[in-house]
């Protein structure tokens, strides 16, 4: 099995470097990368943590599609060389490792953080949203985001418009806008109507197709847009 791995570091030219890996049954792309690093090239940089499909830190572009390396079996990829690149739309640090700062910056830019209502800020005062409640069910899938950044890599609009918050941040905003304990609905609602926010999503669905947690940020964005239109016409706050 041949791996063609994107290599780049500050001060060097980018290139695809070939590595030969002895593929075994049940071997994942991450296993192959670890084998290369241990046996033939200790300078190869890539990121991983849990190895079992929970943390999302091994997200990369495998044969043109965003996937997590730890859950991608070599046997499920088409025959031929496997091309590995770092996530798109994130600044590179080295080889397959990217700087995830834009994900955090975009979250902050659209206030994708929980702002509790005043009555819940006192010590000992908290609200419960039952797991079976409609409020919880509406956002049930969307809250599972692990912040891997694959959706931001797959989104063409993130690549074209630096001010577009992208699927992950807007999916987070969707969960907050539907949270009855949150105090910033109105503030975020005004922001969402901006030219580079909800209107910039073209509904291509690339984010939904690559999300390893099977979240649909497209649906979250469209739900926010429906609410924003009602707000625009004064039907809802």
Partner 1 sequence: MRDRKTLRRRGGSLEAWRDTKAGMWAWLLQRVAALGLIAVIALHLHNPFVRPVQAALLGLVLFHGVLGLRSIVLDFGWPARWHRLLLLLAVLAAAAAFVLVWKWRWY
The residue ranges that bind partner 1 (CB under 8 A) are: 6, 8, 10-11, 14, 63-65, 83, 85-92, 156, 159, 202-206, 208-209, 216, 218-219, 222-223, 225-226
As measured in angstroms, the least distance from the Cβ of 198 to partner 1 is 11
Nearer to partner 1, 89 or 177 (CB): 89
As measured in angstroms, the least distance from the Cβ of 188 to partner 1 is 20
Whole-Å CA distances, 160 to 43, 100, 191, 220, 225: 32, 18, 20, 21, 20
Q: How many CB atoms lie within 10 A of CB 54?
A: 13
Residues 6+ apart with CB under 8 A from 36: 3, 5, 19, 21, 44
The H or E element spanning position 178 is: none
Nearer to partner 1, 74 or 184 (CB): 74
4 DSSP β-pair partners: 18, 83
As measured in angstroms, the least distance from the Cβ of 115 to partner 1 is 27
d(CA 183, CA 200) in angstroms, rounded, equals 25
Nearer to partner 1, 88 or 114 (CB): 88
Nearer to partner 1, 28 or 208 (CB): 208
As measured in angstroms, the least distance from the Cβ of 37 to partner 1 is 21
């Amino acid at each position: 099995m041949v791996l063609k791995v994107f290599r780049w570091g500050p001060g060097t030219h980018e290139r695809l470097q070939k590595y030969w890996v002895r593929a075994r049954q049940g071997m994942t792309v991450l296993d192959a990368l670890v084998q290369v690093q241990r046996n033939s090239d200790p300078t190869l940089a890539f990121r991983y943590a849990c190895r079992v499909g929970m943390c999302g830190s091994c997200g990369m572009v495998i044969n043109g599609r965003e996937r997590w390396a730890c859950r991608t079996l070599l046997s499920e990829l088409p025959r031929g060389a496997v091309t590995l690149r770092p996530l798109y739309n994130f600044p590179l640090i080295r080889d397959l490792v990217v700087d995830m700062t834009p994900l955090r910056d975009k979250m902050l830019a659209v206030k994708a953080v929980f702002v509790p209502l005043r009555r819940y800020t006192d010590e000992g005062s908290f609200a419960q949203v039952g797991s079976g409640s409609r409020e919880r069910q509406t956002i049930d899938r969307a809250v599972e985001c692990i912040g891997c950044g694959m959706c931001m890599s797959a989104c063409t609009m993130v690549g074209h418009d630096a001010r577009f918050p992208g699927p992950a941040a807007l999916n987070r905003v969707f969960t907050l806008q539907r949270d009855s304990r949150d105090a910033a609905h109105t503030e975020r609602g005004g922001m969402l109507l901006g030219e580079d926010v909800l209107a910039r999503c073209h509904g291509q669905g690339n984010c939904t197709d690559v999300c390893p947690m099977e979240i649909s940020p497209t649906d979250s964005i469209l739900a926010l847009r429906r609410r924003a239109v009602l707000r625009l016409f004064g039907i809802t706050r």
